[in-house]
Chains A and B, each alone.
Chain A
């Protein structure tokens, strides 16, 4: 066949040209979703969205599921997040992040401890373990646009304090309020904003959770409130309880939020609980709407 006469060098050259073009054009934005307690998705498989809901549901540009087991300690699972950040948030690539519940604690821990470390720039193509190959170059930290957090548990949950969850689970030990708050400097996000979504449709554990809650996390945590736990914070109108204020404003009573943390949604209608129900439901759905709107 005559096409065999085409010089092999031509193929090579054209391939190199296309690779060069893809590199130039390769500045890509990704949306990372970091799950909370219990897990469900296969760690390392960034396409497995079973924890959240139907994978076809829009959830931000080039969405990736940063799955971890949802029961091991934060420290032992931080590597999963670092792998994902190395994959999709280095070099020319930038990331939006959605974190949920204990995923908030996991991300905050990772940024505070490793956010200024030297990271290898990768090819954004993950192997079965969720690790991407180095493509040359090293940079300081990752490329992050901003973070949205639904039902954030970076401040822990009184359910872990009270033994409502099994203490045989290492993550439950980490979620004890005093431990979660002492684990790392929550203000150290490398100046990346955490926009927080706090649900208030909680009933079952209201006797354990101070103030307003989504049935797992109280406002003091989902609202990103600094200092000791146990603070009762509520929606406006409750005369017996201080208001969780929107944005970065100090709350009624004087408590403040962690720096770079801003409450953008407070569930004044008490419509959203903690649970996604495998269908992007609850407070997760509120955050997903915002991700679709703004992670592009």
Chain B
């Protein structure tokens, strides 16, 4: 028997040792324990977490830099925890309108202004081409309006003439599809040139994907070009079916829109909620897997969001501008659009917030995040104090400028 052989009669002893070792490893060792050295080497440089200018210093060699780095980690973890705590009082699917400023009016045209692109790939910075398109994503049966004009550096109109405009489907590999469709641009009473494109009316009716409209024009004695892209859905994956309903749920004011699903999958829907004066109050969203048949798309305005609004919202609320799509996973094109519901969809009958719940959102996800962020914050504070016991920690409470969203 060698020295390291194990006698069968002693296996309970080894068993006990194994259990003890396992418990020691499992309960004591944590790879992210802040008390232990970091796995990665000391960073070669320190960046101020929220500061404007990086200051390149060797943190490992400079005690001052190391202290600053630890203080920044305290600041970062405090910010992370507190902002999450404050802003998840409402669920992700029911958010204050102010946090979604570019989602509030989805049917406004997309306007851009760029230097005139001329043949040969160059551009003329003396001429700006202002473009607008009414939509980017186009549901089956919808139209899109394009417009363009040219101005000089002072904003004065520059005469422009559209010479050719063709719309073409872009293939999966970018190769161009035939046939092409000619767009009729006309000059309006001012200096804009406008065209309406209706894929359903031409050879691109069944095309699914990006349709690029290449518009050639002359301005300031040169030939220029602009490109308008729209992503077209040739079919509706589901049909809005029936009148929308309203109810006060356990957490929220709920707007329910019946949907007859023809193609199963993940449906992503959003709607805007204004108060009675037309002020945007909330963005409500829906993102769930739906099977074939009738379903209820529920857009919620979290009760606490209504109660927290300052000033208090004028009632009744109005649900408007609902849009959505079937998201096709890992596929290109990635979506089939629902018919857009422009303008008011439902005027709420709720005229008082008295019966609307006012509690903060709670969920497993929120608890999980807050627990982890709190742990990180505590660890960062411990690290700073261990390095410099005289360090002044920020208040543990969540208030102040770090919460600016």
Chain A contact residue count (CB 8 A cutoff): 96
Establish whether residues A188 and B285, one from each chain, have CB atoms under 8 Å apart when the complex forms.
yes
- Residues 1-37 of A, flagged 1 when their CB comes within 8 A of B and 0 if not, give 1110111001001100110111111011100000000
- Within the complex, the shortest CB–CB distance from A49 to chain B, in Å, comes to 14
Pick the contact of A248: B54, B69, B172, B404 (CB < 8 A).
Answer: B404
Q: How many Å lie between the Cα of A79 and that of B334 in the bound state?
A: 12
Establish whether residues B47 and A293, one from each chain, have CB atoms under 8 Å apart when the complex forms.
yes
Q: How many Å lie between the Cα of A72 and that of B21 in the bound state?
A: 50
Chain B residues with CB under 8 A of A256: 101
Q: Is B210 an interface residue (CB 8 A)?
A: yes
Pick the contact of A230: B40, B53, B112, B210 (CB < 8 A).
Answer: B112
- Residues 27-47 of B, flagged 1 when their CB comes within 8 A of A and 0 if not, give 101111000001111011111
Establish whether residues A7 and B50, one from each chain, have CB atoms under 8 Å apart when the complex forms.
no
**Chain A binder among B1-9, B178-186, B238-246:** B1-9
- Residues 280-296 of A, flagged 1 when their CB comes within 8 A of B and 0 if not, give 00000010011011101
**Chain A binder among B76-84, B247-255, B391-399:** B76-84
**Chain B binder among A39-47, A98-106, A127-135, A258-266:** A258-266
Q: How many A-B residue pairs have CB under 8 A?
A: 265
Closest B residue to A184 by beta carbon equals: B268
Establish whether residues A260 and B18, one from each chain, have CB atoms under 8 Å apart when the complex forms.
no
Chain B residues with CB under 8 A of A125: none
Q: Is A126 an interface residue (CB 8 A)?
A: no
- Residues 100-136 of B, flagged 1 when their CB comes within 8 A of A and 0 if not, give 1111000000111111010001110100000001001
Chain A residues with CB under 8 A of B79: 193
**Chain A binder among B301-309, B323-331, B338-346, B352-360:** B323-331
Chain A residues with CB under 8 A of B47: 264-265, 286, 289-290, 293
- Within the complex, the shortest CB–CB distance from B94 to chain A, in Å, comes to 12
Chain B residues with CB under 8 A of A193: 79-80, 83
Q: Give me 14 other A-B pairs in contact (C-beta within 8 A), A58-B44, A187-B103, A188-B92 excluded.
A: A5-B8, A6-B11, A24-B27, A76-B332, A116-B93, A140-B363, A161-B112, A162-B121, A168-B174, A190-B92, A208-B115, A247-B404, A259-B100, A293-B46
Could you show 13 A-B contacts with beta carbons less than 8 Å apart? A2-B8, A5-B8, A6-B6, A58-B40, A73-B334, A75-B333, A113-B327, A116-B287, A167-B174, A207-B125, A210-B114, A264-B48, A265-B47
